[in-house]
Structure 1
């Protein structure tokens, strides 16, 4: 069986991550990453084992950062996210969440160049896993083209209620 990919799309700050945080409470066998705001700071959340890591920083002098718009992200957080996604492959999760494919990934930064490889590994080693990928609505077309998501199902928040 081929992975079923769901592209969870919506506008900026429309509650995509919050929707998924609520949805996973009622689901089992869910792995992956979410990027919620905690006390107005973006965090990296490892769904299984329910652990938070720093993701956003306000220190521009750090050489190990990625800047996109008003956001300053720690490069080490992207490395941690990749590690989390790779580690879940042999567990053959029912659901894998990737929050999110954004401007950085479309510029081959952030989770790239590893994200394409990780998605291919899931297709090979964990083909029954259903993959939910968060993408902002205005980046959806570009992401579909870059990642060959032509057969993915585009969903909104109502899908997770």
Structure 2
């Protein structure tokens, strides 16, 4: 059975509460344009709707949480906690010419076993959900980083 994405869940909540159709646009605008990462801070929405979103989806828009971040002038490595008490890693690479590239995990663990990579050393656990994959980029976006280039 295919997991339901957070965006489908938001539509479902809006439908069940008989909210006007523009509410979905308000939510996506808050996330992607205003960079609001918590439902409670989406003050354009009625408090009762914010509370229902929190009850259904949790307080944060992202389904993953940064557990550790290491940053240098060229690279930021973020270790994220995901469902099942597992960890995944994403990288933000800063290039001298001013653009950034992101290396995003699509699996929890990896079958290659590269010694330099935290993800590779744990072996392959499972494929990530669409939300877990896109939330890695959403985390960087919500923290003010442009998304120039992405590698999976």
Q: TM-score, normalised by structure 1?
A: 0.21
**Larger of the two Rg values belongs to structure:** 2
**Between Structure 1 and Structure 2, which shows a larger proportion of strand residues?**
1
